[in-house]
A and B are shown apart, each in its own frame.
Chain A
Amino acid sequence: MLDCTPKEITERKSGGMINPAKTCQPIGAMYAALGIHKCLPHSHGSQGCCSYHRMHLTRHFRDPVMASTSCFTEGSSVFGGGANLKASIQNVFHIYKPDVMAIHTTCLTETIGDDVSSIIKTAEVAEGKLVIHANTPSYVGSHITGFSNMTKAMVSYIAESTLPVKKEQVNIIPGFVNPGDMREIKRLVKSMDIEYIMFPDTSGVVDSPMTGEFEMYPEGGTTVEQIKDTGNSQLTLALGRFASSDPADLLNKQCKVPAAVLKTPIGIKATDALLMTLRNSFAREIPKELEIERGQLVDIMTDTHFHFHGKTVAIFGDPDIVTGITEFVLSLGMIPVHVLTGTPGGSSNSAAGSFEDDINEMLTTAGITANVKSAGDLFTLHQWIKNQPVDLLIGNTYGKYIARAEDIPFMRVGFPILDRSVHSYLPIVGYQGAMRLIEMISNTLLDRADRDAKDEDFELVM
Chain B
Amino acid sequence: MAEDNAGRIAERDGFIVTKGKNKKQLQCDTDSSAGCVSQRACVYCGARVVLNPITDAIHLVHGPIGCASYTWDIRGSLSSGAELYRNSFSTDLKEQDIIFGGAKRLNAAIDGLVEKYQAKLVFVYSTCIVGVIGDDLEAICTAASQKHNIEVIPVESSGFIGNKSAGYRAAGDALLRLIKPSEPIVKSNSINYLGDFNLAGEAWIIHNYLRQIGVELNVTFTGDSHYTALKSAPKAKLNIIQCAGSMLYLAGKMEELYQIPYIQISFLGIEDTAASLRKIAATLGEKSMIAKAEALIAKETARVEAIIKGYREKLQGKKAAIYVGGGFKAISLVKQFREIGIDVVMIGTQTGRKEEYETINNLVDDGTVILDDANPAELERFMMEKGAHLLVGGVKERPLAYKLGIAFIDHNHDRKHPLSGFEGAVNFAEEVYSTVCSPVWKSLSKSGIDRGVTNHG
Contacts and interface: CB of A to CB of B under 8 A. Distances in A.
Best-surrounded residue of B3, B36, B41, B63 (most CB of chain A within 10 A): B36
A96 interface: yes
Interface string B58-75: 001001111111111000
Contacts of A214: 376, 380, 400, 403-404
Nearest to A83: B34
B405 A210 contact: yes
A273 interface: no
A430 interface: no
A114 to B, nearest CB: 12
B404 A212 contact: yes
Size band of the interface chain A makes with B: 35 or more
A216 B377 contact: yes
A204 B104 CA distance: 46
A256 interface: no
A163 B444 CA distance: 46
B435 interface: no
Contacts of A211: 403, 446
Given A45-B128, A52-B41, A55-B70, A74 B402 contact: no
B399 interface: yes
Contacts of A18: 87-89, 113
A260 to B, nearest CB: 31
A12 B95 contact: no
A456 to B, nearest CB: 37
Given A58-B399, A69-B36, A108-B129, A22 B65 contact: yes
Contact of B43 (A48, A142, A208): A48
Given A24-B65, A52-B66, A210-B405, A139 B35 contact: no
Given A22-B65, A70-B34, A47 B403 contact: no
A442 interface: no
Contact of A138 (B37, B66, B116, B395): B66
A68 B35 CA distance: 5
Contacts of B88: 17-20
Interface string B383-416: 0000000000001101110111100000000100
A91 B116 CA distance: 49
B105 A46 contact: no
B36 A71 contact: yes
A108 B108 CA distance: 23
A48 B68 CA distance: 12
A212 B68 contact: no
A16 B129 contact: no
Contacts of B402: 210
Contacts of A42: 35
Size band of the interface chain B makes with A: 35 or more
A14 B89 CA distance: 11
Given A14-B112, A112-B132, A47 B65 contact: no
A140 interface: yes
Interface in A13-35: 13-20, 22-24, 26-27
Best-surrounded residue of A6, A17, A71, A139 (most CB of chain B within 10 A): A139
A6 B3 CA distance: 60
Interface in B75-110: 83-84, 86-95, 97-98, 105, 108-109
Contacts of A2: 83, 86
Contacts of A15: 91-92, 105, 108-109
A23 B35 contact: no
Contacts of A85: 34
Given A210-B402, A213-B404, A48 B65 contact: no
Interface string A203-226: 000001011111110000000000
A45 to B, nearest CB: 7
Nearest to A77: B160
A300 interface: no
A55 B395 contact: yes
Given A45-B128, A52-B45, A94 B1 contact: yes
B107 to A, nearest CB: 8
A9 B69 CA distance: 23
A15 B95 CA distance: 13
B133 interface: yes
B64 A138 contact: yes
Interface in A41-59: 42, 45-56, 58-59
Contact of B396 (A22, A55, A95): A55
A16 B108 contact: yes
Contacts of A138: 63-66, 129
Contacts of A45: 128, 159-160
Contacts of A22: 65, 69
B246 interface: no
Contacts of B112: 12-14, 16
A3 B89 CA distance: 15
A258 interface: no
A87 B34 contact: yes
Contacts of A24: 64-66, 69
A122 to B, nearest CB: 16
Given A14-B109, A46-B42, A4 B94 contact: no
B353 interface: no
Contacts of A212: 403-405, 444-446
A230 B398 CA distance: 36
Interface in A66-93: 66-74, 76-77, 83-85, 87-92
B111 A14 contact: yes
Interface string A404-429: 00000000000000000000000000
Nearest to A106: B128
Nearest to B71: A52
A59 B404 CA distance: 18
Contacts of B35: 42, 68-71, 87-92, 95
A16 B92 contact: yes
A92 B33 CA distance: 10
B396 A58 contact: yes
A27 B45 contact: no
B108 A14 contact: yes
Given A6-B116, A48-B159, A64-B376, A107 B396 contact: no
A62 B395 CA distance: 9
Given A14-B108, A70-B34, A19 B70 contact: no
Given A14-B112, A107-B64, A4 B90 contact: no
Interface in A223-249: none
Contact of A48 (B45, B72, B83, B111): B45
15 contacts: A15-B109, A18-B87, A20-B88, A45-B159, A48-B41, A48-B44, A51-B396, A52-B71, A55-B396, A64-B376, A64-B400, A73-B162, A107-B93, A210-B444, A212-B444
State the 9 A-B residue pairs at the shortest beta-carbon distance, nearest first.
A48-B42, A24-B66, A91-B35, A88-B35, A138-B64, A16-B109, A14-B108, A46-B159, A52-B70
Interface of A: 1-4, 6, 12-20, 22-24, 26-27, 40, 42, 45-56, 58-59, 62-74, 76-77, 83-85, 87-92, 94-97, 106-108, 111-112, 137-140, 142, 208, 210-216, 398, 401
Given A89-B35, A107-B98, A398-B72, 9 more contacts: A15-B91, A23-B66, A46-B159, A62-B399, A69-B34, A84-B34, A107-B128, A107-B129, A140-B94
